[in-house]
Structure 1
Amino acid sequence: MIGRPRPRPHVPGAHAGREVSPKPGAESHVLSKALNQAEGLDSELLQRLFREARGLTENELYERLAAWEDNSDDSGLQQRKQTESTLRGEVSRLQKEVSQLLDEAYAAKKKAMDAELAQVKTTEKIEARMSLSRRQLQSIARGMGAASGLAERCRDLQHRAAVLNLELDSLKNGARQKRQAMEECSRDARDLAQRLELAEKDQPGSTLLVEAEAADVHSDFRAEVVSLLTERSELRESLQKQKEMAELQQLLADERMLLEKRRMSAADMLREIADLEEQADDLERNSQRVLGEMRNSLERLAMQVEELRRAKDQAEDWLGAVWAALNQQRREQLLLHQCLGCAELMFLECGFHPKVVLVVPVFVLVPFCLLVVYCAMPRQSPANFSEICTQETQQISLLEDLRPVRPMLTPS
């Protein structure tokens, strides 16, 4: 069975944007239909040409083929040059875009790493501030515990001072009563002494009575003196207690002043605690805001990375389409060689003997070139052969340009 070349796929020009055509594998059904139609047209056209060639001489046939070659070779070579120049431009543009995408991906990765490092540093600062605030709160709590213990002790001392004040008042009342009794006793003693003096002057004969009365009075006076001495000792003790109470009141006053100072310091500490709590709230709000900004920046970076990934996939698809077009061109060349061999056999069977047989590229949509390739004139063959060699060299250089991006087209 004679193989026919497949139709050439559409190659995007230099003005094409970032949108790429789908992969060639998705057009297998369309290509098969186009190939069948092309095979039917080529077979019918070749049969018609064979029927027309049977009525011509060899010179007339060569003239007819020379005219066909002049019209077909120029347009085919021009189209191939235009296609290869377009492919070269697209390959260079794709290489620039790939390098730009790699630079953008590296910049995005570096930006993400910088953002992560800044987040780590901010978190460390926040933790250090929180630990400092925690230590300050612990010291304040210890100070409040000591202040509460001191306040409890002051309350106990105040209670004891109140009890001692009550005792002091009772002792003062007792001392006042004893002083009044002592004054009454001293007045009685003075009255008794005056009476004794009067009795000694007025009645010398009543000495015995007076002595008896004096003995009674003396015994009473002695008892009164003993009681007065006892009261004096008690008064001394009460005075000593009053001195102690005065000292205790002074100590209580000093303690009260100290408590006032401690109370003021406790109020200052409470205010400092409130300020620290406000600072902690502000720090927490700032940390939440910073974390929100970092979360938004990370989301934007993720979106940029996703866009870069989609652009990379799109570029890979486009490169795959270009690579498939190049492979399709190679397959077309192989199919053309097979078709030319079959055409040569058919010409030999018809009785034509071309003097020079050259292999030149023939496009699928121009079936007349199948006869031009095998029946070209000798004066036109060297130029066509040199142009074909030039085109083959350009194609090899184009494949060499595509070599750096070839690993991106291979399936993972």
Structure 2
Amino acid sequence: MSDTESVKKVVLAYSGGLDTSIILRWLQDTYRCEVVTFTADLGQGEELEPAREKAKLMGVKEIFIEDVREEFVRDFVFPMFRANTVYEGTYLLGTSIARPLIAKRQIEIAQQTGADAVCHGATGKGNDQVRFELSYYALQPDIKIIAPWREWNLTSRTALIDYAEKHQIPVPKDKRGEAPFSVDANMLHVSSEGKVLEDPAVQAADYIWSNTIAPEEAPDKPTFVEIGFEKGDPVSIDGQKLSPATILTKLNELGRANGIGRLDLVENRFVGMKNRGLYETPGGTIMLVAHRAMESLTLDREMGHLKDELMPRYAKLIYNGFWFAPEREMLQAAIDFSQQAVTGTVTMKLYKGNAMVVARKAEKSLFSADWVTFEESAVADYDHKDAQGFIKLNALRLRLKKMLQG
């Protein structure tokens, strides 16, 4: 029995756009199987109901369109930000963190509907194919995976358009030409890459930025916002308790209006090549700076330093698609333990592309003015003379090396 004959029902990650509509029909034609569609509302800012009508027109009987914004922020974005996660020093992993949630729901829907396969629309050159498939296998080891871009012979835009027209798949006018660049969007970020962005030596055109205004066009007056944290997660804005998705939405609005969160990056893909991308993460940028400020008051020095050492490994796991791997879960347990006292408020000043900390306070703050002041201290336990022995002991190995080895 061939692979195409063995698949009876497949759950497709379906956006309703041209590419996944072509994939839907290709699955029906190639695998002769029933297709279930899953469309996730991750806050990408697009109307998703048209995807339902398109799927119906193509004969799909089981259509899932779900608002997963709260789950996305609560169970994926917030845990990641507890670690202050950035990949290669700058990227806040907006695309990477969305893939395991989509994969998780596909597997759950496959189990619910009796499907024996799942399908994604990621290309064979990118990271997303790895992220989707590692997640699928981690959650259901025996699942069949269909990756059309690695199987079909539709290798050009012209071939895709011809296939769509042959099978009466509507092709919007703006999709007939070669797209100038590709876009991925969700509540955390908007990423743009490919085509006109492929040469890192060429400055990106202004029209490519869609989720932030240019910093030089931001208001001349700064915006102040107070973010409340509980155990490492943002829980309020200006004293008002809000849900995770609502908080990120409001921070996005503030960041967008002040030109915050733009990044022009050349990154190392997991599959081995370098890639240039433009990322806009307005709310996440504010949240990261505020969270680090909250930790600066409440984390023990060595705990904080250890977190900073672990973070690049944690970021790499997420970027490479290992969200459901045991080592990521192990690191998450350590990170979450560190956040027990990370509760308080941080006041941010937002101004022309900058997110600056201007005040922070916490009930369990480890900062003590009495201990650190240069003035007369009320603390009797600190003797300046103790520093002499501390320094001499730390200098001992340095002195011995010089004396014995020159």
Does TM, normalized by the shorter one, top 0.5? no
Q: TM-score range by the shorter chain?
A: under 0.3
TM-score, normalised by the number of residues in structure 2: 0.21
TM-score, normalised by the number of residues in structure 1: 0.21
Please say which structure displays the higher CA radius of gyration: 1
Q: Which has the higher helix share?
A: 1
Q: Which has the higher strand share?
A: 2
**Higher relative contact order (Cα pairs below 8 Å, separated by 6+ residues):** 1
